[in-house]
Structures are given as C-alpha cells and as structure tokens.
C-alpha cells in the first residue's frame, strides 16, 4: 500500500518546495514520492536543478511535472500511469519501471541518460513508435 500524506502535510511540503524557487528554477532535488496522490501538484512552470521523484504514488499521468529536470526523473511504481505530461528535457535518466505502461507515448523528448522502463508491457509497433517520438542520448532498457 502506498503511504500517504494528509492534505495539510502536502500543502506544507509543496510550500517548502516552492520557497526554493527563484525565477522559475527550483534548486536541488524535489521529492513528492509516497504522497499517495493521483495528480501531481502543478510544477510545470519550473525547472528543477536536481532530481525529481514522484514514484510510489497512484498517478494517472505526469501532468504538472516540471518542464525540465537537470538530473534523474523517477516516476516508477505508479500502476496505471500515462507518460503524458512528462518533462520535455531530462538531464539524467528517466525511470518509469513497474507502471504497467503499454506505450511510451508522452515520454520526454530529450533524455541525456537512459530510459529505464523494465517491468512494463511496451511491445510491438506502438512502443517502437513511442520510442521514436523522443531523443534518448543514453541507452534504453526494457
């Protein structure tokens, strides 16, 4: 079972994250993992200079994600997740293992590290077409 934060705890944590923002940039890592949410707080106007972790929730999509993450992006262990709303740019690796994905449509357009999507069901032409929709400068492992 996914641990959850109360609405009050989420608001306090989100305020602390946004307090680190200056000119659309959040300095350091952002961790919203294990909040038990179905939707991300709206951080889409921000760039994160560290890692972004929204794993171990109940997310339906990545809408609300920062538009760019300079290091790794973790959205693993979100069964039923769609990659729609992913950042445009990930400077490290993109981890979306164990999400019951059937397509890579919506994945970041540019990944400098690797795309890690083990323990999903991305097969055939749809997965291949999704894989061609973005540029992974590292390696892809399924």
pTM of the model: 0.86
| Polymer length of the chain | 142
How are strands ordered across the β-sheet holding 73-74?
Answer: 30-31, 52-53, 73-74, 94-95, 115-116, 140-141
For the chain, the average pLDDT equals 88
- At 44 the pLDDT is 97
Judged by average pLDDT, the poorest of 16-25, 59-68, 120-129 is 120-129
pLDDT for position 5: 85
Q: How confident is the model at residue 51 (pLDDT cuts 50, 70, 90)?
A: very high
**What distance in Å separates the CA atoms of residue 72 and residue 49, rounded to the nearest whole number?**
10
pLDDT at residue 20, as a whole number = 94
CA 72/CA 92 separation, integer angstroms: 4
The structure tokens listed for 70 are 């300079």
Q: What average pLDDT does this structure show over 58-85?
A: 97
Distance between CA atoms of residues 14 and 93, nearest Å: 24
Digit-coded pLDDT (tens) for 83-117:
999 999 999 999 999 999 999 999 999 999 999 99
Which residue, chain included where needed, has tokens 């305020």? Answer: 15
């Amino acid at each position: 079972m996914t641990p959850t934060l109360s609405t009050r705890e989420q608001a306090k944590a989100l305020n602390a994250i946004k307090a680190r923002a200056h000119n659309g940039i959040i300095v350091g890592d952002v961790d919203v993992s294990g909040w038990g949410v179905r939707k991300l707080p709206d951080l889409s106007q921000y760039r994160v200079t560290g890692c972004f972790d929204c794993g171990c929730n109940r997310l339906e999509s990545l809408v609300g994600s920062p538009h760019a993450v300079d290091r790794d992006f973790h959205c693993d262990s979100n069964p039923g997740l769609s990659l729609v709303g992913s950042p445009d740019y990930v400077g490290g690796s993109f981890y979306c293992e164990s999400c019951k994905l059937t397509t890579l449509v919506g994945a970041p357009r540019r990944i400098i590290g690797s795309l890690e999507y083990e323990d999903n069901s991305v097969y055939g032409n749809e997965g291949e077409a999704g894989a061609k929709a973005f540029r992974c400068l590292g390696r892809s492992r399924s």
